[in-house]
Amino acid sequence: MKAIVYDDGKKDVSVVDWPHPGEDVSTHVDSSSEYQALVKVRQIGICNTDLEIIKGYVEGYRHVLGHEGVAEVEAVVHTETGQRVAGEISARYVNKRVVVEINCPCDKDGGECGKRGAEFERNHYPRRTVLGIIGRDGLMAEYCMVPLDNCIIVPDSVSDTEAVFSEPLAAAYRVVEQNAVNPDNDGERIAVIGDGKLGLLIAHVLVMSGCKHVCHFGRHKRKLDMVVGTDKVLGDAMPNGALGSFDVVVEASGSPDGVQRAVELLRPMGTLILKTTCSLNIDPESLPNWSRLANDIVVNEKTLLGSRCGPQSVGIELLEDPRTKALVEKMVDHVYSGFEEGMRALEHAGRKGALKIQLKIPRGEEAID
């Protein structure tokens, strides 16, 4: 089958012939899920994480890329026997459109993590694999084998183009799941820094969750205007009275120096949520001064909170709301079609200022009747 694979050893990304995951199930069964789903990919989104992997973010990576996507379940396979199963479980999933929860936990009973709760297990199980990021082929292929427990059925009211956003929306929603904001507090002031894809989704999710005062800092009026219900601050200038005034600041600028401004905006005892991961190859000269940051954090007793993946089922729920549909439609810069356009799609996603680029995987000839 065709797949977009990054080989870190060769520093090469290309469309290649890759083993069909249905041929040898044993290589895909590192999972606590009793069943696996063989899925046929319909449409995928290109994430900054994919672009970082191509730059060497995951050492030794040699897998199919892609963790944002929507697919159709072709078969349900028993994890232990590798046999396709029929019956009720199959009827529930086969031919249904699904999105796939990015974190795939394995051998659940092997550790203490379960005792720390479902969120810990989802995001931090030490032997987890992560779709198209850690130890597992992703969705930029004709087919992919995934734990059935990770499949979330997409309702008819959510299109393919929309469903692809369930993973980044879930990551945005993680801020709410972590109880880092309190929508019941009418006086709470929240700043979101960054008008890239994740910054836009975070600002939107906060408004949707009932936060009353969301102030969105960015560099592009066109992008800031996509999110309804926020105050907007354009450019690098610090508005009067903004310094040290926010209860919560979400740093999603995608740049390591965003953290300096974020700390300055935060009031004493406020919470700074970090969403930006940074390449390790950045020139140290351009990094913020740690002593200055630390002094502010210590003296003003500010809290730093890291934040990563959220529940994709909530991502799908959010996509059923017309307000989310309106936002994500504006965020799609282009949908390419077919593996022959795969490299062009990756190149486009890497252009400065690009928002979401997606790739549709057309049905094979044999599927058209």
Q: 100: buried, middle or exposed (CB in 10 Å: 19+, 13-18, 0-12)?
A: buried
Toward Zn ion, which CB reaches closer, 49 or 307? 49
Residues 102/129, Cβ–Cβ less than 8 Å? no
Question: In angstroms, what is the minimal distance from the CB of 102 to Zn ion?
Answer: 8
DSSP-derived 3-state class of residue 13: strand
Question: In angstroms, what is the minimal distance from the CB of 319 to Zn ion?
Answer: 15
Question: In angstroms, what is the minimal distance from the CB of 57 to Zn ion?
Answer: 12
* CA separation for the pair 61, 167 (Å, rounded): 21
Torsional sign, CA 235, 350, 38, 133:
negative
Torsional sign, CA 236, 240, 244, 249:
negative
Nearest residue to Zn ion, scored by beta-carbon proximity = 47
- Expressed in percent and rounded to 5, the helix, strand and coil fractions of the chain are 35, 30, 40
* CA separation for the pair 18, 258 (Å, rounded): 40
Using CB under 5 A as the binding rule, whether residue 53 contacts Zn ion is answered as no
Retrieve residue 326's tokens.
């309106």
Question: In angstroms, what is the minimal distance from the CB of 199 to Zn ion?
Answer: 14
Q: Between 6 and 45, how does the x/- string for binding to Zn ion read (CB under 5 A)?
A: ----------------------------------------
Toward Zn ion, which CB reaches closer, 47 or 104? 47
Toward Zn ion, which CB reaches closer, 32 or 49? 49
* CA separation for the pair 304, 302 (Å, rounded): 7
Toward Zn ion, which CB reaches closer, 47 or 316? 47
| Residues 66-95 interacting with Zn ion (rule: CB under 5 A) | none
Toward Zn ion, which CB reaches closer, 47 or 249? 47
- Please identify, among the stretches 49-57, 145-153, 205-213, 284-292, the one whose residues bind Zn ion according to the rule CB under 5 A: 49-57
Retrieve residue 79's tokens.
């994890």
Toward Zn ion, which CB reaches closer, 131 or 265? 131
Toward Zn ion, which CB reaches closer, 164 or 192? 164
Residues 216/227, Cβ–Cβ less than 8 Å? yes
Question: In angstroms, what is the minimal distance from the CB of 130 to Zn ion?
Answer: 11
* CA separation for the pair 331, 321 (Å, rounded): 16
Closest CA to 102 of 82, 76, 132: 132
Question: In angstroms, what is the minimal distance from the CB of 68 to Zn ion?
Answer: 5
* CA separation for the pair 169, 341 (Å, rounded): 26
- Please identify, among the stretches 46-54, 73-81, 216-224, 236-244, the one whose residues bind Zn ion according to the rule CB under 5 A: 46-54
- The C-alpha angle 268, 272, 251, rounded to 5 degrees, equals 135
Question: In angstroms, what is the minimal distance from the CB of 226 to Zn ion?
Answer: 18
Number of residues that bind Zn ion (CB under 5 A): 2
Q: Between 142 and 161, how does the x/- string for binding to Zn ion read (CB under 5 A)?
A: --------------------
Question: In angstroms, what is the minimal distance from the CB of 4 to Zn ion?
Answer: 15
Toward Zn ion, which CB reaches closer, 49 or 271? 49
Question: In angstroms, what is the minimal distance from the CB of 145 to Zn ion?
Answer: 20
* CA separation for the pair 164, 68 (Å, rounded): 6
Residues 6 or more apart whose Cβ sits within 8 Å of residue 302: 263, 266, 268, 269, 270, 271, 272, 296
- The C-alpha angle 62, 67, 68, rounded to 5 degrees, equals 150
**Of these, 47, 70, 99, 248, which contacts Zn ion (CB under 5 A)?**
47
| Residues 184-213 interacting with Zn ion (rule: CB under 5 A) | none
Question: In angstroms, what is the minimal distance from the CB of 309 to Zn ion?
Answer: 9
Toward Zn ion, which CB reaches closer, 29 or 51? 51
Toward Zn ion, which CB reaches closer, 68 or 195? 68
Q: Note the residues at the interface with Zn ion (CB under 5 A).
A: 47, 49
